[in-house]
Structure 1
Amino acid sequence: MTANGTRAKPFARRWSLLIRFRGLPGLARLLLLTQLAFNIGFYLVVPFLATHLAEDLAMAGWAIGIVLGVRTFSQQGMFALGGALADRFGIRPTVLAGCALRVLGFAVLASAGDFPTVLGGTVLIGFAAALFSPAVESALAAQGTELERRGIITRTELFGLFAVCGEIGAVTGPLLGAALLGVDFGLTCSVAAAVFVLILLAHARMLPHGTREERRPLLAGWARIARNRTFLVFAAAYSAYLLSYNQLYLALPVELGRVDAAHALGWMFALASVLVVFGQLPLAAWARSRLGAARALPLGFGLLSLAFAAVACWAPWPPLPGLFALLPAALFVSLLSLGQMLAVPVAQDLVPRLADGQDLGSHFGFLSSAGGVAVLIGSGAAGGLLDLAAHPGPLAALPWLALAALPALSGLTLLALARRLPARPR
């Protein structure tokens, strides 16, 4: 029931959200399609960058490592700055600047033939995402608040649809990139740049101009975050999600190597994508309507923890026969994906509440940067431990149990935190 006693219109028809995509306002559709196109353009190039540097440019391993590390830091580590710039100058100019920088970065990479030029193009690509993503997420949060008020879709479900669009782009991009890579890496970069030119033109036409009063001093958002202890605890606990999900790239290959099934890695990523594309919307709707943040967040992080614990049960023993050898890896991917699908849209929906609706770019950026720091620190430690899991043995379960403990502790922290949150404002 609404405040005036009338029955609220149902948000649902949960399974029809994709079908009803065209019924969303133009700006909401633009933001969702932006995530789709953004990931297509990104995954056209970045998964094949190391191969290009090694095979086409004959770069040494240390140089390739520096390029990839700098790309990650210039993107994930600079999200907090990008979010602050969005709050200071407005969403529209920040998004347009991010698109322009990414076009320039891909153009530089298309013709780069030496280490400094490649590094420069990589920094441009990474920092472009740091400008672009927090601004788009804050715009999506504002749209979600308005659409939820009008009874069209909840903000949690809108973030779920955002994740689905991103996953479709993450699947489509590498397929196109693999096809183009056989022709020329420069052509791949040119196509990616063209994708971002289209994004730039669409946003230049459709993104509204913000008012001067909406723009905040550059450090205002950071000052608010520093005073918001609840949000700082939330960001620290939530960062375990990104560290856990990053183990698809670090721990999953170790498990597949243990059972001599490295060839199945592509199928495992396909499984994760299928689960997200078909399960994200109904699971987000169920979490929003039936569970609420106080239960959905710890349950999601519990599933993340259970994913590692499941592999720990099998790691000390010899592989199962035949296709059953892939069972621990499949359980790991499935539980990790389900935990992500349950926790992430609910957590993103909480950010505007924790931020009291102000300086959303800074808050979303800080959240991403906190996850980036966790990955930077935690992946090094995890990589050392995972050497123990490369072969069956008494200590093979230890790395998986250590990785299981992190989301479990975070889930308990988020459980205590969510219970103290004020009710969602009407």
Structure 2
Amino acid sequence: MNQLTVPRRSEARKPGRERIWPTLSSLLRLLIATQLAFNVGFYAVLPFLAGHLGGAIGLAGWLVGLVLGLRTFSQQGLFVVGGALVDRYGVRPVVLAGCVLRIAGFCWLGYAERTWSVIAAVLLIGFAAALFSPAVESEVLRQAVSREEAGGGPRTGVLALFSMAGQAGAFVGPLIGALLLTVDFRTVCLAGAVVFVCVLAGHVWLLPQRIPGRTRVRGPGAVRALLRNRRFLALCCAYGTYLLAYNQFYLALPAEVARVWGSQAPLAWLFALSSLMVVTVQLPVTRWAADRFDLRRSMAAGLLLITVGFGVVAVARPAGWTGAGGLLPAVGFVALLTLGQMLVAPAARAWVPDLADAGRLGLYTGALSSMSGLIVLAGSAASGYLLDAGLPPAVPWLVLAAFPAAAVMLLPRDPSRLEKSS
């Protein structure tokens, strides 16, 4: 089933402690820099969208929520479509098309004043990401596996660097957006569009017309085969459950911070802590895990750390602490959640090539995001109800802790990367 031969871990790990960036191919460097640029442009706009919709546009709160939900669906839900297009047409045309649509979407959003126009622009922005993100991610995965086969180190190291670039972009983008917002929201949108114009120009110039080793595939039955791939579906369920737990960063954590502090003012510092941890610690954590765990055990360890993070708040919650002392459990939750993310996310992505059908890496990469997004969509409503249900203080957090713990049991058995050096 897997189109790529996986080397013994003892062979793949030898160069693992060298600096990764200087050893990467020019294509991998371009793709990782692309992830950084994508997130700078995107997060320069996204954090300020809800305020613009409710303020300048004057949309009702429910309609703002609907627009944001449609953006998520048009992006995450359609990743599988983008992935299938990559398998059929190649990386370059899909990435370039996505950049063009993102530029058009940002420009449109900057000038949109009516509800239908705003919705159309947001859908276009989301669909653009559904094109270029699976293209970039699947090619990074393929290149990381090829590099591993050549003895260049574990694939998880490349994926960790990819995650760090995305996190750095997500950190820098809002700072740029906040600065430009002193002018107006239109300026923010146009600046985001300029970022993608630069990305488009760079890829027209640097991205190869044909990438060696990548074959285009056609023919029916790929989706049916995916849906019969039980091990891949198990990975999707486990990864989706992890994302549902991670989504509490934006649902349960703000409610807890507001309870102990009286406002959500410290939330920005907790988000910054998470970003700083990923940027500074991701690579050492990934190397440490590669020396000790196969992919399944790495994911399991990360999920258990996240479980403990929820448990920290659950244990402290009945005491009713407030003020600075009351924030300590929240800080522990953020730290453990972020450490868990560092173990789970690279390992889950690295596992996909071992489970994908030949030539269908784009489809499987997109499907992982789309299926996981559906789990988050369904579970988030249940999580919100749980937090508002008036249960005893510890109960919601204990229930939330059960999700990542259960995800350990969902992980597929007998991964192909079980061999360890003696």
Whole-angstrom distance in 1 between the partners of 2:12 and 2:179? 49
| Letter in structure 1 aligned against 2:218 | P
3-state SS in 2 of match to 1:119: helix
Whole-angstrom distance in 2 between the partners of 1:235 and 1:8? 26
Runs of 4+ in 1 over 6 A off after TM superposition: 6-9
Q: Which residue of 1 aligns with 2:217?
A: 216
Q: Which residue of 2 aligns with 1:349?
A: 350
Give 1:306's match in structure 2, choosing from 300, 305, 308.
308
Does the 8 Å CA contact 2:13/2:291 hold for their aligned counterparts?
Answer: no
Question: 1:39 offset after TM fit, Å?
Answer: 0.4
Give 2:289's match in structure 1, choosing from 287, 309, 315.
287
Whole-angstrom distance in 2 between the partners of 1:319 and 1:183? 41
Q: Deviations over 1:233-253 (max 9, x none)?
A: 111121111111111110101
Whole-angstrom distance in 1 between the partners of 2:11 and 2:145? 19
Whole-angstrom distance in 1 between the partners of 2:12 and 2:61? 59
| Letter in structure 2 aligned against 1:68 | L
Q: Which residue of 2 aligns with 1:403?
A: 400
Whole-angstrom distance in 2 between the partners of 1:286 and 1:143? 22
Whole-angstrom distance in 2 between the partners of 1:86 and 1:8? 28
Quick check: 1:257 aligned with 2:258? yes
Q: Which residue of 2 aligns with 1:72?
A: 72
Whole-angstrom distance in 2 between the partners of 1:203 and 1:293? 32
Question: 1:294 offset after TM fit, Å?
Answer: 3.1
CA 1:329/1:229 → structure 2, altered by over 3 Å: closer, same or farther?
Answer: same
Q: Which residue of 1 aligns with 2:248?
A: 247
| Letter in structure 2 aligned against 1:345 | P
Quick check: 1:26 aligned with 2:21? no
Question: 1:8 offset after TM fit, Å?
Answer: 7.4
Question: 1:196 offset after TM fit, Å?
Answer: 0.7
Q: What is the correspondence of 1:140-289 to structure 2 with a 5 Å cutoff?
A: 140-210=140-210, 214-217=215-218, 219-261=220-262, 262-289=264-291
Does the 8 Å CA contact 1:37/1:169 hold for their aligned counterparts?
Answer: yes
Whole-angstrom distance in 2 between the partners of 1:363 and 1:7? 27
CA 1:192/1:153 → structure 2, altered by over 3 Å: closer, same or farther?
Answer: farther
| Letter in structure 1 aligned against 2:15 | F
CA 1:166/1:187 → structure 2, altered by over 3 Å: closer, same or farther?
Answer: same
Does the 8 Å CA contact 1:272/1:333 hold for their aligned counterparts?
Answer: yes
Indicate the structure whose relative CO is greater, using CA pairs within 8 Å and at least 6 residues apart. Answer: 2
Whole-angstrom distance in 2 between the partners of 1:139 and 1:360? 8
Question: 1:85 offset after TM fit, Å?
Answer: 1.2
CA 1:213/1:146 → structure 2, altered by over 3 Å: closer, same or farther?
Answer: closer
Question: 1:356 offset after TM fit, Å?
Answer: 4.6
CA 1:213/1:159 → structure 2, altered by over 3 Å: closer, same or farther?
Answer: closer
| Letter in structure 2 aligned against 1:217 | R
Q: Which residue of 1 aligns with 2:112?
A: 112
Does the 8 Å CA contact 2:12/2:148 hold for their aligned counterparts?
Answer: no
Could you tell me the TM-score, scaled by structure 2's length? 0.92
Whole-angstrom distance in 1 between the partners of 2:30 and 2:363? 22
Does the 8 Å CA contact 2:294/2:417 hold for their aligned counterparts?
Answer: no
CA 1:268/1:345 → structure 2, altered by over 3 Å: closer, same or farther?
Answer: same
Question: 1:226 offset after TM fit, Å?
Answer: 1.6
CA 1:218/1:114 → structure 2, altered by over 3 Å: closer, same or farther?
Answer: farther
Question: 1:420 offset after TM fit, Å?
Answer: 4.9
Whole-angstrom distance in 1 between the partners of 2:348 and 2:28? 19
Does the 8 Å CA contact 2:12/2:152 hold for their aligned counterparts?
Answer: no
CA 1:317/1:7 → structure 2, altered by over 3 Å: closer, same or farther?
Answer: closer
3-state SS in 1 of match to 2:186: helix
Gaps of 5+ in 1: none
Whole-angstrom distance in 1 between the partners of 2:27 and 2:231? 31
Quick check: 1:419 aligned with 2:420? no
Q: Deviations over 1:270-303 (max 9, x none)?
A: 1101111111101111112221213211111111
